[in-house]
Chains A and B, each alone.
Chain A
Amino acid sequence: GENVEQHPSTLSVQEGDSAVIKCTYSDSASNYFPWYKQELGKGPQLIIDIRSNVGEKKDQRIAVTLNKTAKHFSLHITETQPEDSAVYFCAALGGSGGSYIPTFGRGTSLIVHP
């Protein structure tokens, strides 16, 4: 089955810096890659996603890039703000067998220092 590795597990940045979280996946057939943000005590929220026919997608300060050859995708947050502090999860789905069940990474705790 699919395996998703996410790094780093913890990321500490100063306000205004950029943050990058990386995920690798194992199933080359996976075709949909969502990212979720989970604030303390709340459920995760979908913040951006990318499909395999696209190499990059942006939404204001966040962007996601996908390298299908290398089987990795990354979340980029520019001009970080304290409210960006949260746990971020990547996921991959659509792999062999066409499963609609995502395989999640283990999460990255992002801390933005004012």
Chain B
Amino acid sequence: DGGITQSPKYLFRKEGQNVTLSCEQNLNHDAMYWYRQDPGQGLRLIYYSQIVNDFQKGDIAEGYSVSREKKESFPLTVTSAQKNPTAFYLCASARPGYYGYTFGSGTRLTVV
């Protein structure tokens, strides 16, 4: 079955550490996205990529970095510069054009 896989499901990080969240899709989608969701909040766009080797900042990119070396993969690194990283992180992918997203199941990151 085609889909989008995020790992790990839960992640704990000590302050000052960088962590990388994995996102892999086998849907052959060109575009991939990272969103952050805080309790009771909507979805805020961190980064997106519409083609391999190219990505754009979203609304809240500070303290995050991404890469897009393969069409299937779009990892997100939460750096120590992100002041409040505890949140639910969602990866999504989509076909070119006006189509809906396919979301992953999310990674819950907690800073301890």
By a beta-carbon cutoff of 8 Å, the part of chain A in contact with chain B is 31-32, 34, 36, 41-46, 49, 51, 89, 93-94, 100-102, 104-107
Contacts and interface: CB of A to CB of B under 8 A. Distances in A.
Interface range, B side? 20 to 34
Contacts, number: 49
Interface of B: 6, 31, 33, 41-43, 45, 48, 50, 58, 90, 92, 94, 96-106
A49 B100 contact: yes
B42 A106 contact: yes
Q: Choose among A31, A34, A43, A102 the residue with the greatest number of B CB atoms under 10 Å from its CB.
A: A43
Nearest to A99: B98
Contacts of A107: 42
B105 A43 contact: yes
Contacts of A45: 103
B98 A100 contact: yes
